[in-house]
Structure 1
Amino acid sequence: MTTALALRPYQSYIYGYPHKTAYRPLGPARPALRELWADEPKDALSFYTHLPFCEFRCGFCNLFTRIGAPGDLTTRYLDAVERQAIAVREALGDGEVRFATAAFGGGTPTFLSAAELTRLCDIAERRMGVDLRAVPLSVETSPGTATPERLAVLAERGTTRASIGVQSFVESEARAAVRPQRRDEVETALAAIRESGIPILNIDLIYGIDGQTAATWRGSLDAALAWRPEELYLYPLYVRPLTGLGKRTPVAEREWDAQRLALYAAGRDHLLAAGYEQVSMRMFRRADAPRTPADHACQTDGMVGLGAGARSYTAGLHYSFDYAVETREVRGIVDEYTATTDFTRAEVGRALDVDDRRRRHLLQSLLQADGMDVNDYRARFGAGPHEHFPAELAGFAERGWLDSGTGPELLRLSPEGLAWSDALGPLLFSPGVRAAMAAYRPR
């Protein structure tokens, strides 16, 4: 394992590929959405709406969010979402359009009032044609906004999964992560979710917080397990430019890496012993939890995103609106979005050639604990992954990241490989994507 020591384990969260920092303005000849979607399969689309509003900004957060919503901003934002929904649904055409999964994210969707959440669901159903009660619907929430009134709306409209960002049940650790919350507020929110009847509860926790120890990490895990959540996500703490924590004194990186790896392993083993299955580096599912069958495949099926921070995916182009982290920049982008009247064209994005499509399929499949069906990859791309990426896969094998006990039809990570997912994923980025990411100037 000496070769692995030259590489740091925590390079980047892999939310999708290509990374949004590789997107660029699509120029004066912005492609029309109707043309982009004309030849795309639309029978198993994913639907996502982004709400950028939060009560406060956590110290680690580099997502596209803004604090608060002065005046009538939420109304104007929903007005824009509705205009965009009308334009996008028209662009999808008159043929078969079916949504297989849906999500409201952010930001914090439950920053909206109960009445505004009702309107949001109405937009999804009446303007986009998403049958929210017939598909898996996931909604993100927070301890301060998971109120019975809001949750009742979401439950009635078909929400199957509520995901709450707790991060730590230890108040001193929450403060260290610049996340002002009280333990009793967290417990009240969790009780409200359970009482709402939403069938799947997910709790997000973070490891690597300043002052966190093995004992306090175990305490947060046990506090979460007391609610028997169907899912738990364990995230390593990252400190990014322009975030609250990013302005603080840097920590000793190698020691921090070792701490996070140790806490990850302890958390993983504790959850496995408690009857959870590992789905990916981050995701753990209770073995007896209800399963929601989904026929959307993130590697191949398209995604339609509404809202200022949402991405949309076709096979050949990933697109969105502008992206920023710094507070003033985010406010400007949100204001520009709410003033937009023409949503018929893609603004910012990145085209995917066949090499990037292969990389995306491999990356998004391999980072799942179940691994990748090699025959499916071969049928889709004409050759096997070892023929397209011999150097990368040989390097993974040398580091002990691949499961050597599988047959030739399955490519799967070893436990060590799952632990190093945030280093493994970026090694599959194409040279062009890496160059674009490196040239991006954080703002």
Structure 2
Amino acid sequence: MTAVAALPRPYQNYVYAYPHKTSYRPLSPRPALAQLWRDEARHALSLYLHIPFCEVRCGFCNLFTRVGAPDGLTGRYLDALERQAHAVREALGERPEPSFATAAFGGGTPTYLEARELERLCDIAEQVMGADLRAIPLSVEASPATATADRLAVLAARGTTRLSLGVQSFVDAEARAAVRPQRRADVEAALGCVRAAGIPVLNIDLIYGIDGQTESSWRLSLDAALQWQPEEIYLYPLYVRPLTGLGRHVDPAVSERDWDAQRLNRYREGRDHLLAHGYRQVSMRMFRRVDAPPQGPDDYACQTDGMIGLGCGARSYTSTLHYSFDYAVSSREVRSIIDTYTATTDFTRALVGRAVDDGEARRRHLLQSLLQVDGLAVADYELRFGRDPRADFAAELGLLAERGWLDDTADRLRLTPNGLAYSDAIGPEFFSPAVRSAMADYELR
């Protein structure tokens, strides 16, 4: 009998987009947007507007964001966002006229903007880009401190169908341990405001693996969330990343093994608890109430070709190139990139990105599908690429099967429940050698 290799560490890399942004590089020459989008399908585009501001930076956060916005910075940022929107809309042209199927405001914290600024953000999406926000799914991210009645009223009136609230924990001590200062009473008040605003879908984000978290305290947060009957709940494992608040203080000599075991236990407890309380699992992280209204594509912000990203932290996806602006994590570098963006007047070219050839497109399609509960429909893959995914990824799929993590039927490839628990290890195993090399060479800053 052949021995099965040791299992990988379960928490390596959250594959919310592929190729990863750390594999992007400055483009030379810088292609014109009009050329990039000339032959692209434009009948069902996704629109993403990025707001890189937060009231506080959580200790685990490695998103592109800064704390605060002094001296009218949000106004200057929206000015730049509008200039970029005009340039992109002109590049898209009129033949055929572009049509948007989904929209999202992310960050950072979009609701860091005041109510009047949120009105302007919606105007940019509608009046400049041409997205009918009241006719398509619109998802907006928020924090408890910024989910105020006046901001939520604007979002509800402008067509928001989904509000995602980053709660992380209902236990005050755990929130402090994650360097996210908040009180449960304030979180509950924010949730009340969201429900009062009448936005159809509420998502609550929770984090497991926080220092001091126990099975009992994790159950407390889960039950507190369930009291609000949210249409969606996301369960995120805690990561400690370089250059983040927690990453600067972690003892590198501490063994990771016990933490991995703790996070796996919390994940399984959370999964089983939600499944027992009327939710179905969509991915390792996502759980949707069985009677929740449909919202369109899952993982709306990062998973499809034909996405237009506006803002200095947003990505755009054509079928052959993923592109964005410069990227950083450290506060000083992020501030510098935001300042450069707000001073930019010419948004007609792509600056930083990565080409996506047929091989990378096949990897991306497989990853986007396999890491979902429904898995990869073999016929869809064969129709798009004219190839058998089992032949294209024989080694990777063979390893999953050897571990007992792959359910391979005639028409579909699915991860088993144990395989799904290891999604953050499985994803990186499908990265191409070229992407792995580029990510390894990336200099964190």
Partner of 1:421: 423
More displaced stretch, 243-252 vs 98-107:
243-252
**What stretches of structure 1 move > 3 A for 4+ residues in a row?**
1-6, 293-301
| Per-residue deviation, residues 86-134 of structure 1 (Å, max 9, x unmatched) | 0000101112311000000000000000000000000000000000000
Partner of 1:332: 336
Q: Which of these residues, 267, 272, 293, is aligned with residue 270 of structure 2?
A: 267
- Pairing 1:10-409 to 2, within 5 Å after superposition: 10-27=11-28, 29-94=29-94, 95-248=96-249, 249-250=251-252, 251-293=254-296, 301-404=305-408, 407-409=409-411
After superposition, the Cα gap between the structure-2 partners of 1:92 and 1:280, relative to the gap in structure 1 and judged at 3 Å, is: same
Q: CA RMSD in A?
A: 1.4
Contact kept? 2:48, 2:301, Cα under 8 Å: no
Letter in 2 for 1:327: S
Shift of 1:292: 2.7
Q: How far apart, in 1, do the equivalents of 2:247 and 2:332 lie?
A: 17
Contact kept? 2:133, 2:158, Cα under 8 Å: yes
Contact kept? 2:304, 2:317, Cα under 8 Å: no
After superposition, the Cα gap between the structure-2 partners of 1:163 and 1:187, relative to the gap in structure 1 and judged at 3 Å, is: same
SS at match of 1:333: helix
After superposition, the Cα gap between the structure-2 partners of 1:109 and 1:81, relative to the gap in structure 1 and judged at 3 Å, is: same
SS at match of 1:412: strand
After superposition, the Cα gap between the structure-2 partners of 1:298 and 1:320, relative to the gap in structure 1 and judged at 3 Å, is: closer
Shift of 1:352: 0.8
SS at match of 1:61: coil
After superposition, the Cα gap between the structure-2 partners of 1:121 and 1:300, relative to the gap in structure 1 and judged at 3 Å, is: closer
Shift of 1:187: 0.4
Partner of 2:440: 438
Contact kept? 1:64, 1:324, Cα under 8 Å: yes
| Per-residue deviation, residues 230-263 of structure 1 (Å, max 9, x unmatched) | 0000000000000000011244201100000010
After superposition, the Cα gap between the structure-2 partners of 1:67 and 1:156, relative to the gap in structure 1 and judged at 3 Å, is: same
SS at match of 2:326: coil
Shift of 1:301: 3.3
| Per-residue deviation, residues 187-227 of structure 1 (Å, max 9, x unmatched) | 00000000000000000000000000000000000000000
Shift of 1:279: 0.2
Shift of 1:298: 6.6
Q: How far apart, in 2, do the equivalents of 1:217 and 1:403 lie?
A: 30
Shift of 1:6: 3.8
**Identity among equivalent pairs (%):** 71
Partner of 2:414: 412
Contact kept? 2:149, 2:197, Cα under 8 Å: yes
TM-score, with normalisation over the residues of structure 1?
0.97
* Count of residues in Structure 1 that have an aligned counterpart in Structure 2: 440
TM-score, with normalisation over the residues of structure 2?
0.97
Contact kept? 1:209, 1:237, Cα under 8 Å: yes
More displaced stretch, 111-120 vs 247-256:
247-256
After superposition, the Cα gap between the structure-2 partners of 1:298 and 1:44, relative to the gap in structure 1 and judged at 3 Å, is: farther
More displaced stretch, 196-205 vs 250-259:
250-259
Contact kept? 1:66, 1:327, Cα under 8 Å: yes
| Per-residue deviation, residues 137-167 of structure 1 (Å, max 9, x unmatched) | 0000001000000000000000000000000
Q: How far apart, in 2, do the equivalents of 1:204 and 1:5 lie?
A: 32
Q: How far apart, in 1, do the equivalents of 2:219 and 2:295 lie?
A: 29
Letter in 2 for 1:371: G
Contact kept? 1:231, 1:285, Cα under 8 Å: yes
Contact kept? 2:33, 2:88, Cα under 8 Å: yes
Letter in 1 for 2:291: D
Contact kept? 1:56, 1:68, Cα under 8 Å: yes
Contact kept? 1:33, 1:91, Cα under 8 Å: yes
More displaced stretch, 157-166 vs 88-97:
88-97
Mind listing any 5+ residue stretches in structure 1 that lack a counterpart? none
Shift of 1:297: 11
| Per-residue deviation, residues 14-48 of structure 1 (Å, max 9, x unmatched) | 11000000000002x20000000000000111100
SS at match of 1:234: strand
SS at match of 2:406: coil
Q: How far apart, in 2, do the equivalents of 1:402 and 1:297 lie?
A: 27
Shift of 1:64: 0.2
After superposition, the Cα gap between the structure-2 partners of 1:298 and 1:168, relative to the gap in structure 1 and judged at 3 Å, is: closer
Shift of 1:76: 0.2
Q: How far apart, in 2, do the equivalents of 1:374 and 1:297 lie?
A: 24
Shift of 1:312: 0.1
More displaced stretch, 130-139 vs 291-300:
291-300
Contact kept? 2:105, 2:141, Cα under 8 Å: yes
Q: How far apart, in 2, do the equivalents of 1:190 and 1:252 lie?
A: 37
Q: How far apart, in 2, do the equivalents of 1:35 and 1:254 lie?
A: 49
Contact kept? 2:315, 2:324, Cα under 8 Å: yes
Letter in 2 for 1:194: R
